Structure 1
């Protein structure tokens, strides 16, 4: 069956710059092109396949063609011409019952990536998809649509993941994640790192990393190459092919610790803001090219709309935040200091009132609960956390409470640690009610092997009574939602410096409907 594309008007694309409107539309399959296309010599699906942002009637599919994925120029050994890419969506993994098919065009302007947006599927069911270029066939991926609006599904199982520095170790955690039975992966950022933070990095085949892959990313071709390096790992490919992903970004997709228009280098003399703006534009375009994002996430220059909501019937709403583009300089009790920016903050708060879901899940980058890291009486927090935007945090959590959010769950990345914490509007008041639950997930790879417990963990637990658990190993969370409970399983491995580590559940917590905070399972 042909078709399955959402109708997208030309007007919707007028704001795009960089890659251009035509390339975006050709890549989604919304426009067709009869011009001559290039013939590809070699196997083009070396970076795998993926799907994302599921809706009740469809998903966005993704692949990026690269016959030589680590070619030093970042262009994957592809010709400087467009390539037609056929896709199929089927009800069975043998593709005997194909329900949607069509053609998208991989253009050099978008790194030969395609993002066909499929519609007309049934809600809350599995599908399989694949791509074809000439005689070459991609691996098959499995995806799943969201439940229909207004319907209550009995279970939703998703992983919380973040921080996957390629150089830090082997992707053993992703190998195990790919074997979980999941409906969704929520990835909270640091999908790539803009430079190596390891003295002598190696490739995951055990060979030394070439010098050209050790340089810092500053332009589009180098960011493309970094994504190709990460996505060349078979375990990351398998995790993407296992189920749809819902993604946002943190800092390292662009540069360490950037915020708003400010680069980390802006403290140095003679820095031109236009240089960082161009770097952001290149980084955001490379991110779009390499993830299963819809055309609405295509950046316009140095700006991108990544905050969005995805509904799962009346069981759950997922609200993905952007805590980088609109963030101001920190100021703990400054009413003007903002993590989200006024427009995004209002959008978030308005969603508390409009949601009919039992569980409201917020995808967040830095810990929202208080995180005092010093035993002295003065509260001392880390640089990037919500403690440094205390007034805005109090406003957001108070609004959630006043607007009747019974089951607020914040899932957080960035820290390379596991925490389970209670959310309160006012941590200075011991009688302040528990408003929600925060699950801070550790890194997939960043931070090397880690440890079960470090001395700072004892400080955390002593100085933050709302923290019920902390751990410093690598891994991910598996969260299971039902109409009555949320269960969070902290899945960890003992090492990643060598392949083959086993996976285990280090701790589990259960939150009952209407009783935020949770208890150990």
Structure 2
């Protein structure tokens, strides 16, 4: 196959940009019999309404001598020339290589896999989870290292893009926050803006390598739309401008992620008017692990005591915000809460998975800033955007975990740009209450944390359930699990301002089968 050459397209099709596969390739939403393959073609004129015919191949070998499936699909200019190929009928627990072809253009080669059959107790699973990759705050050296880790899966927990324009002043590594690279894009509000933002992030070669290395499970957080936004269910008074912006952001997210068309609540033709993408899903890695991938943005009640004109959620004191304790407020929304409770009950039943994983956006465990005593905690400043701002919803989930406990429950999260390791307790107000689950909240790929190490260490001292709190490193979490144990290594880059930064382990924790709560490993 010859490399792509300018002029390969005829007048019947849009003229390809050079290079046409500038966003790389990706795969995602794997099952034991299929996977979604993705790419996005770049054309010279993004407004050209004509479609492109794209061929794709899936093979057992990187040289594509043993092709398993091949086919052809047409892009849609209305969907940004994105390609989503939903493969079915594949054998379970197998690795494959894939590529796309259009005219004389050949994409990079990606590697993907199917998951073990539902009745198989797989001997091992190796994954990374990560979040929060603001372009200006650093390079993606963490992704370069993750791509070399021979992973089965990546679980991405939100803030794939950031909607902001670059701060004025250019590169400023010594600034607070540090600015290591800049872009020329305006603040994202339109579909074209969001498409450009994804193209920017996906131009990074290390992020492309991580996508090409293995399939991803994906959810989103706030910056895929707007900082600290709440779903439309909590924004009855939202302006038409915001609703149009949110719809554009949702469409761009689907266009740029390896997701099946089933996430489109109104289908492809209605996407421009859709108010939702159904992102909460379950993925089963045989009987070893079951992932409940959650969406804590789209269905949440608006943050407690938040003024309609505020762009950030902020903090409140409970004595001045009765709404904070309103039992009807939800972070996941009633339908998703019910869906999750049903899934946890299934995991609790005979034949359930060895490990139940709640893949959600932020820190679940409480953080008490005023001290360990109940009196000090009663009216301390409370952040309203994470689970701390939805205490009744958190307690409902804890009650579910206590009533129908899976064999082993682990929560993973991101959002706060800090590493946290916690014991998840039945009653967050009682340090002696039963430990129900383990929690690992990872730091960011690049996004800066405004917290200080001294504050994090003081918080850890005042919260016995917090085993580690560290805001200083950027990186990801590496997880290795088998039927007997879950092992998490928090990986940190030495310098987010260097694309070639070395990586090192920050801390290691283990969860033993049948024993809730992380333990330090070494």
Q: TM-score, normalised by structure 2?
A: 0.86
CA distance in 1, matches of 2:14, 2:384: 49
CA shift, 1:283, in A, is: 0.2
User: Size of the alignment, in residue pairs?
Assistant: 470
2:130 is matched with 161
Distance 1:402 1:174 in 2: 39
Change (3 A) 1:231 1:436: same
| SS of structure 2 residue aligned to 1:54 | coil
- What does 1:88-107 correspond to in 2, within 5 Å? 88-107=57-76
Counterpart of 1:7 in structure 2 is none
Q: 1:320 is matched with which residue?
A: 293
Q: Using the alignment, how far apart are the partners of 2:416 and 2:80 within structure 1?
A: 31
Name the SS of the counterpart of 2:505 in structure 1. Answer: strand
Q: From 356, 362, 370, give the equivalent of 2:358.
A: 362
* Stretch of structure 1 that moved more, 402-411 or 305-314: 402-411
Aligned to 2:485: 485
Native 8 Å contact 1:167 1:196 kept in 2: no
Bigger Cα displacement from structure 2, 193-202 vs 385-394: 193-202
For the residue of structure 1 that corresponds to 2:232, the secondary structure is: coil
**Which of 222, 238, 242 is the aligned partner of 1:276?**
242
Q: Hey, what's the Cα distance between the residues in 2 that align with 1:517 and 1:207?
A: 38
Equivalent residue for 2:341, pick from 342, 349, 352:
349
Which residue of 1 is the match for residue 430 of structure 2? 429
Q: Structure 2: any 5+ residue segments left out of the alignment?
A: 1-10, 174-178, 267-273, 305-322
**Closer/same/farther in 2, CA of residues 232 and 349 from structure 1, 3 Å limit:** same
2:445 matched residue in structure 1? 444
Deviation of the 1:193 alpha carbon: 0.5
CA contact (8 A) 2:166 2:183 kept: no
State the match for 1:240 in structure 2: 211
Is contact 2:232–2:238 with CA below 8 Å preserved after alignment? no
Any conservation in 2 of the 1:203–1:209 contact (CA below 8 Å)? no
Partner Cα separation in structure 2 for residue 444 and residue 41 of structure 1: 29
Question: Are the structure 2 counterparts of residues 480 and 332 from structure 1 closer, same or farther at C-alpha, using a change threshold of 3 Å?
Answer: farther
Q: Does 1:64 align with 2:44?
A: no
Q: CA deviation at 1:178?
A: 1.4
Q: Deviations over 1:398-427 (max 9, x none)?
A: 212221312111100101000100111311
Cα drift, residue 39 of structure 1 = 5.2
2-structure distance, mates of 1:156, 1:311: 12
Change (3 A) 1:503 1:324: same
Supply the distance in 2 between the matched residues of 1:491 and 1:41 (Cα, whole angstroms): 37
The equivalent residue for 2:469 is 470
Matched, 1:218 2:210: no
Separation of aligned partners in 2, 1:56 and 1:277:
37
1:263 touches 1:276 (CA, 8 Å); kept in 2? no
Deviation at 1:274, TM superposition (A): 2.2
Deviation at 1:381, TM superposition (A): 3.2
Q: TM-score, normalised by structure 1?
A: 0.86
Q: Any conservation in 2 of the 1:65–1:78 contact (CA below 8 Å)?
A: no
Structure 2 CA distance for partners of 1:197 and 1:346, relative to 1, 3 Å? farther
Question: Quick one: structure 1 residues 84 and 195, their matched pair in 2 at CA, closer, same or farther if it must change by over 3 Å?
Answer: same
| Cα drift, residue 430 of structure 1 | 2.7
Query: 2: distance between equivalents of 1:414 and 1:321?
Result: 14
- In structure 1, distance between residues paired with 2:265 and 2:163: 18
TM-aligned CA deviation for residue 56 of structure 1: 0.4
Aligned to 2:7: none
Q: Could you tell me how far apart the structure 2 residues matched to 1:404 and 1:507 are?
A: 28
Q: Distance in 2 between matches of 1:207 and 1:66?
A: 27
Instruction: Return the offset for 1:332.
Output: 3.7
Answering whether residue 397 of structure 2 is matched by residue 396 of structure 1, we say: yes
1:458 aligns with 2:457: yes
Q: Look up the SS of the partner of 2:198 in the other structure.
A: helix
Aligned-residue CA RMSD in angstroms?
2.4
Does the CA contact (< 8 Å) of 1:57 and 1:121 recur in 2? Answer: yes
> Is the contact between residue 170 and residue 498 of structure 1 (CA under 8 Å) also seen in structure 2?
yes
* Partners of 1:399 and 1:209 in 2: CA distance: 45
Cα deviation 1:463-505 (Å, max 9, x = unaligned) = 1110111222000001111011000000001221233211001
Matched, 1:144 2:113: yes
Contact 1:168 1:198 (8 Å CA) reproduced: no
